[in-house]
Amino acid sequence: MLNENELPDDFTYPDSIKRIVELGLVDLDVWYFMLKEHTLIRLQGLKERYPNRNLIPFARRGDNDDIACFEIGQGEKVYIIHDFASSGYEQREIFNCVWDWFKYAIDIMIDYD
């Protein structure tokens, strides 16, 4: 995860995602939390590819270009973005909270086993 000084001023991570990271539950086989360097690269790329959105990435799906993001001003919702898709076609799914996304990521891990 990014430090406060690396995040936009109007964004803070939800407590739920901080808890997941504190517990070390960051590698769910198919889905995994990105390292800081990769998060910064994706953050910049998302700004360029989807200039009408304010996405903050945190996890990546290893078998395709899907990434899990927050969107500034949208609370704890998690947006699955198919990165590198044409603008307007990037949205895959929306989860109401981090825990809903986390359950989804665990289900995918179980299905892949």
Q: What is the full DSSP assignment across 21-72?
A: HHTT--EETTEEEPPHHHHHHHHHHHHHH-TT--EEEEEEETTSSEEEEEET
Residue 13 lies in a domain: no
Residue 15 lies in a domain: no
Q: Structure tokens of 42?
A: 């994706």
Q: What pLDDT sits at residue 38? A: 96
30-89 pLDDT, tens per residue?
999 999 999 999 999 999 999 999 999 999 999 999 999 999 999 999 999 999 999 999
Structural domain range at position 107: 20-112
Q: What pLDDT sits at residue 112? A: 87
Average pLDDT over residues 90-96: 97
Q: Cα–Cα–Cα angle for 112, 93, 59, nearest 5°?
A: 60
Residue 5 lies in a domain: no
With beta carbons less than 8 A apart as the criterion, state whether 30 and 105 touch: yes
Q: What pLDDT sits at residue 79? A: 98
Q: Please count the structural domains in the chain.
A: 1
Residue 7 lies in a domain: no
- pLDDT of 9 > 90? The answer is no
Identify the DSSP state of 83. T
Q: What pLDDT sits at residue 113? A: 75
Q: What pLDDT sits at residue 39? A: 96
